[in-house]
Amino acid sequence: MTITSRPTGTGPSLLGGSIELPPNPCLHAPPTRAPAWAGEPGTAGTVAVVGAGKMGLPLAAQFASHGWEVIAVDVQEAVVASINEGRSHIGEEPGVAELVRSAHESGRLRATTDAAAAAGDADVVVVIVPVMLDDERQPDRRSMDAAVESIGPGLHAGSLVIFETTLPVGDTRTRYAPRLAAVTSLELDRDLLVAFSPERLYSGAALRNLATYPKLVGGIGPASTARAASFYDSVLDAEIVAMSSAEAAELAKLADTTYRDVNIALANELAHAAERAGADVSEVIEAANSQPYSHIHQPGLGVGGHCIPVYPHLLLAGAPDLELVATARRVNDGQVGVALRSIQRSVGPLDGVPVLVLGVTYRDGVKELAYSRALPLIDRLRFHGASVWAHDPLLSEDETARCCAAFWPWGAAAPFRVVVTQTADPRWHELDFAWFPDLELVFDGRNSLDPRAVPHRTAYLGIGVPSPSGRRPPSVR
């Protein structure tokens, strides 16, 4: 494989959307087992992966597939039990279940709740537990703090600890490395090596991403960086980028996710401008992106998921004066309010109005509710008196009722006056609007519907997309 100090290429233009890059082929020969792994090329040791969740388990499976002995660590006994039975507990990641099964059968993958024992048996400890936001939108490090405390007693001379969880800039060096050094009495960057290497995985494509995107690595010193780069070079088929410091790697991860948040905020602002001009923002963005320096994303009801709504706040935690970053967060979070006001202008007061929200997860195809814009949307609709139902192909009736709204069974006739699409699920193209004889408005929150499919008697509103002739609500003409 290749370890470089700079990425060798930036890839093709995204042209404002997403693309699939071809995965790199695996060129690794079967490794030699090293009793105490120290980074020698062609060798493999034992790695503990602390946090065997949606991103941790794919990492564990990937490492095992490249000849490493892997110990998955998790606080949930059910997760540990499933892995020890050779089963994946995450159902949305192509290829992971097969790798988990084969790794278990080969004896290279086991799981435990004992983090200290796992760290004691391991040459490398990869920590990937969540850092989210508290009620004040500040970093909530409780899970990470607990994980660091749990592995400390097992660390030994020669241990390499790598943080893959996205962290505020400086946390690797100033918060966690000193804690590990204090509990072990080992000298940092000599006897105890510590590095940061952010996961760059997209739900539903984790294994493919691991073989595609350059792996960024930055240590607290040169020895830590070199050892961490050697580890990833032995388990990944992508390019390894050894950066100058842990801080550079931390900031790089925050930069790429914050870029997307700012870009989407720009798209939402352009949608407002397009509405005023009577233009179609989709046409505008497509035309702008035909110039290779323009990569404008798409507007919508806002941004959900574990990453993009969270990581800008991790950046702001250390640099609160970054005005553009803070403004982008306000713009994107404000899109639910923009949608609500548009709906009210169209149908009037919402008291008693039956509304159907299509799409509850944060995006179509991913069974995850983290920061889904459906949740504040439903709350706001209810606050204004609406009766709200919801449907998501990924959620059962019980799951829908528990999280947010009454369940609407697909295809059932219903007296909805408003339908809102919150995700761009392809199933919405199968909607038969005859199911809703009282329908007054379709609010297309992801610009994913064909307005021409909406009955002429029903108003259509998108995000920066003009209604077909004669279909715009009279109050917003």
By C-alpha distance, which of 147, 133, 146, 256 is closest to 199? Answer: 256
Query: What pLDDT does residue 79 have?
Result: 97
Beta-carbon neighbour count of residue 6 at 10 Å?
Answer: 10
Q: Which CATH class is domain 3-245?
A: alpha beta
DSSP for residue 22: P
**SS3 call for 283:** helix
End-to-end CA distance of the chain: 60
Query: What is the rounded CA–CA span in Å between residue 261 and residue 331?
Result: 10
From 158-172, 376-390, 455-469, the region with the lowest mean pLDDT: 455-469
Find the angle CA(17)-CA(299)-CA(354) to the nearest 5 degrees: 130
Q: How far apart are CA 111 and CA 404, in angstroms?
A: 34
CA dihedral 239, 131, 68, 91 (to 10 degrees): -100
CA distance 121 to 333: 45
Residues of the chain with pLDDT > 90: what percent? Answer: 88
What is the SS3 assignment for 216-230? EEEECCHHHHHHHHH
The predicted pLDDT at position 257 comes to 95
Closest CA to 163 of 146, 178, 144: 144
C-alpha separations of 246 from 47, 119, 214, 315, 391 in Å? 20, 21, 16, 15, 43
> Beta partners for 375?
none
Residue 298 CA to residue 284 CA, distance in Å, equals 11
Q: How confident is the model at residue 17 (pLDDT cuts 50, 70, 90)?
A: very low
Specify the residue for token string 């059910």. 78
Which residues, including other chains, have CB under 8 Å from residue 227's CB and lie 6 or more apart?
38, 39, 160, 193, 195, 219
Mean pLDDT of the chain: 93
**Cα distance between residue 305 and residue 395, in whole Å:** 16
**Pair of tokens at residue 215:** 């792996």
Give the per-residue pLDDT at 477.
32
Whether 3-245 shares its CATH topology with 335-476 is answered yes
Per-residue model confidence as pLDDT tens digits over 84-131: 999 999 977 899 999 999 999 999 999 999 999 999 999 999 999 999
Binned at pLDDT 50, 70 and 90, residue 143 comes out as: very high
3-class secondary structure, 91: coil
For the domain 335-476, what is the CATH superfamily, name and number? NAD(P)-binding Rossmann-like Domain (3.40.50.720)
- Predicted local distance difference test score (pLDDT) of residue 5: 76
The pTM for the full model equals 0.91
**DSSP-derived 3-state class of residue 193:** strand
Mean pLDDT throughout 188-203? 95
Mean pLDDT of 397-401: 97
Q: State the Cα–Cα distance between residues 184 and 223, nearest whole angstrom.
A: 18
Is the pLDDT confidence value at 468 over 80?
no
Q: Say whether pLDDT at 475 is over 50.
A: no
Tell me: pLDDT of 58 over 90. yes
Tokens 């509710």 correspond to 369
Contact 423, 359 (CB under 8 A): yes
CA 80 remoteness from chain centre: 23
pLDDT, mean of residues 350-361:
97
Q: How confident is the model at residue 330 (pLDDT cuts 50, 70, 90)?
A: very high
Pick from 129, 142, 147: which is nearest to 199 by CA? 129
Please check the confidence at residue 53 and state whether its pLDDT lies above 80: yes
Report whether 119 contacts 71 (CB < 8 A): no
Using DSSP, state whether 274 is helix, strand or coil.
Answer: helix
Where in the sequence numbering do the catalytic residues fall?
253, 307
CA-based R_g, the chain, Å: 24
Indicate if the pLDDT at residue 137 is higher than 70. Answer: yes
* pLDDT at residue number 416: 98
Q: By percentage, how much of the chain surpasses pLDDT 70?
A: 95
Instruction: Give the start-to-end residue ranges of the domains of the chain.
Output: 3-245, 335-476
Mean pLDDT across 52-57: 95
